[in-house]
Amino acid sequence: MSYTGRFKVWRGDAGGGELQDFEVEVNEGEVVLDIIHRLQATQAHDLAVRWNCKAGKCGSCSAEINGRPRLMCMTRMSVFDESETVTVTPMRTFPVVRDLVTDVSFNYTKAREIPSFVPPPRLGPGEYRMQQEDVERSQEFRKCIECFLCQNVCHVVRDHEENKTAFAGPRFLMRMAELDMHPLDAAEETGLDRKTTAQDEHGLGYCNITKCCTEVCPEHIKITDNALIPLKERAADRKYDPLVWLGSVIRRRGAID
Mode of pairing for the β-strands spanning 2-13 and 16-27: antiparallel
* SS3 state at 101: strand
**DSSP string spanning 127-184?**
-----HHHHHHHHHHTT-----HHHHH-HHHHS-GGGTTT---HHHHHHHHHHHT-TT
Q: 60 contacts which partner out of ligand SF4, ligand FES, none, CB within 5 to 8 A by kind?
A: ligand FES
Q: Is 216 in the site for ligand FES (CB under 6 A)?
A: no
Buried b (16+ CB within 10 A) or exposed e, 151-162: bbbbebbbeeee
Q: From the CB of 151, what's the least distance to ligand SF4, in Å?
A: 6
CB-wise, 41 or 53, nearer to ligand FES?
53
CB-wise, 66 or 163, nearer to ligand FES?
66
CA 128 and chain centroid, separation: 29
Binding mask 57-96 for ligand FES (x = CB under 6 A): xxxxx---------x-x-----------------------
Q: 61 contacts which partner out of ligand FES, ligand SF4, none, CB within 5 to 8 A by kind?
A: ligand FES
Chain residues 33-62 in contact with ligand FES, contact rule CB under 6 A: 51-54, 56-61
The region of 17-25, 82-90, 194-202, 207-215 touching ligand SF4 under the rule CB under 6 A is 207-215
For residues 198, 202, 205 and 211, what is the CA-based torsion angle, rounded to 10 degrees? -90
Chain residues 142-161 in contact with ligand SF4, contact rule CB under 6 A: 144-150, 154, 156
What residues have CB less than 8 Å from 232, skipping those under 6 apart? Answer: 204, 207, 209
CB-wise, 14 or 53, nearer to ligand FES?
53
List interacting residues with ligand FES (CB under 6 A).
51-54, 56-61, 71, 73
